[in-house]
Amino acid sequence: MEQFRPPHQVQRDTELALAFREGNLDAVRTLCDRFGGLVFTVAHRIIGDGQRAEDVTQHVFVQAWRLADHFDAGQDFAPWLAMIARGSAIDALRVEQRIPIVALDYADPSDSALVMLLPSAEQVETVWSVRTAIDSLDPNEREVIRMQYLQGHSHSEIAEQLGVAVGTVKSRSQRAHRRLATRLGHLEQDVDK
């Protein structure tokens, strides 16, 4: 496929891919701007509803960011993103088919699902900042943080699974927290405003 693209386009896409893989927010924005229409079109053709296709589009770019390290920097983004969009749209349809639709007249007004708003751009950027900070940790520290917060394990459970002393887990956790506090200090300032 590269032979059909001008060399400057291949170089620009390769640079974008490398920046994207590193979690560079400008690269992510560029990717969304450049390929958002393609992703939306693929999702809309499968789902047939504009609003749901927009939701899938947003999900696709989050998935792409999560899978960025699997992307070959020398390839086109378009087929890769279209494949993720297709899979995400099909998954969205499958989920909808399993969930019975209930008229809103019968829904509980206090149900949080009825009033939940989509995340703002600031919230998405905050999540990406946190994820980038965690991904930049030393692999041992990153593993402890993920096991602790994403899997809900205690220090002793982590120590047992990793085959290290509880003190080692605690020191890795403490170092990771100090590094995260330094890298994410700007988020605390934003909350104070």
Q: For residue range 96-132, what is the model confidence (pLDDT) as tens digits?
A: 766 555 555 666 666 665 555 556 667 777 778 888 8
| Residue 146 burial by Cβ neighbours in a 10 Å radius (0-12, 13-18, 19+) | middle
Show Cβ contacts of residue 72 under 8 Å, excluding neighbours closer than 6 positions.
17
DSSP code at position 148: I
Element (H, E) at 181: helix 166-183
Q: Confidence band (pLDDT; 50, 70, 90) for 158?
A: very high
**Do the Cβ atoms of 59 and 65 come closer than 8 Å?**
no
The sign of the CA dihedral 84, 68, 144, 134 is: negative
In whole angstroms, what is the distance from residue 170 CA to residue 156 CA? 9
Q: Which amino acid is at 30?
A: T
Confidence at residue 139, expressed as pLDDT on a 0 to 100 scale: 92
Q: For residue range 8-53, what is the model confidence (pLDDT) as tens digits?
A: 555 566 777 778 777 788 887 888 888 889 889 989 898 888 888 8
**Do the Cβ atoms of 10 and 74 come closer than 8 Å?**
yes
Average pLDDT, the chain: 78
pLDDT > 70: percent of the chain? 76
In whole angstroms, what is the distance from residue 58 CA to residue 88 CA? 10
In whole angstroms, what is the distance from residue 142 CA to residue 135 CA? 7
Backbone phi and psi for residue 110, each to the nearest 5 degrees, phi listed first: -85, 0
Q: How many of the other CB atoms lie within 10 Å of CB of 84? A: 21
The label of the residue with tokens 């990406």 reads 128
Q: Quick check: pTM over 0.85?
A: no
In angstroms, the first-to-last Cα distance of the chain is 49
- Which comes out higher in pLDDT, residue 77 or 37? 37
